[in-house]
Amino acid sequence: MKNYILIGFMGAGKTTVGKLLAKEKGMQFVDTDERIVSEQGRKIPDIFAEDGEAYFRDLETELLKRMQEDTCHAVISVGGGMPVRKQNRELLRSLGCVIYLSASKQTILERVKNDGSRPMLNGGDLEERVEQLMKEREALYRQAAHIDVRTDGRSIRHVLQIIGQETRRFG
């Protein structure tokens, strides 16, 4: 297996599941948001505030291009907005098996309600913002994914078990 790539809405469990999946498989764990923060020397809300969303999305695309060359045998957790760009969806699929971790709006709201570090959720009513973004992104996540795994009401162990079963065909 080249890589496992976890996509999905913020709060779907990408980082939590990704770290345990990497440990279980003996693979490296890579969080694209953490790499961008490290490379830029500033937090994502600061990048959004100082340079805007388009600049941040450009950083994501450039990182994915580099990862085509330097990332193998890894579990990669990507930011919730990364698959929005068509080019990024193509790059993600070429990196390995893309796993869409999905969850209901209620589950997402419960997980992100006290997290002020997510610039895409700033401004306006949180529930309306989550619902709007989920509607905008759902079909794009499905286009990018090889596999869809629901995380609602499931333990991390159960999610890992489902991923194991579903990814067997990708070798």
Full domain range(s) for residue 109:
3-164
Among residues of the chain, what percentage have pLDDT more than 90?
70
Coil, strand or helix at 110: helix
The structural domain count of the chain equals 1
What would the pLDDT profile of 150-163 be if each residue is shown by its tens digit?
A: 999 899 999 999 99
* 153 domain residue, yes or no: yes
Burial (CB count <10 Å: 0-12, 13-18, 19+), residue 128:
exposed
What would the pLDDT profile of 30-71 be if each residue is shown by its tens digit?
A: 999 999 999 999 998 899 999 998 999 999 999 999 999 999
What angle separates helix 53-70 from helix 32-40, to the nearest 10 degrees? 110
Sign of the Cα pseudo-torsion (34, 36, 42, 45, in order) = negative
Whichever domain contains 114, its CATH number is: 3.40.50.300
* 61 domain residue, yes or no: yes
* 44 domain residue, yes or no: yes
- Give pLDDT, residue 151: 93
* 35 domain residue, yes or no: yes
* 169 domain residue, yes or no: no
* 171 domain residue, yes or no: no
Six token digits for residue 167: 């990814």
pLDDT, the chain, mean: 90
The answer to whether the CB of 13 falls within 8 A of the CB of 156 is yes
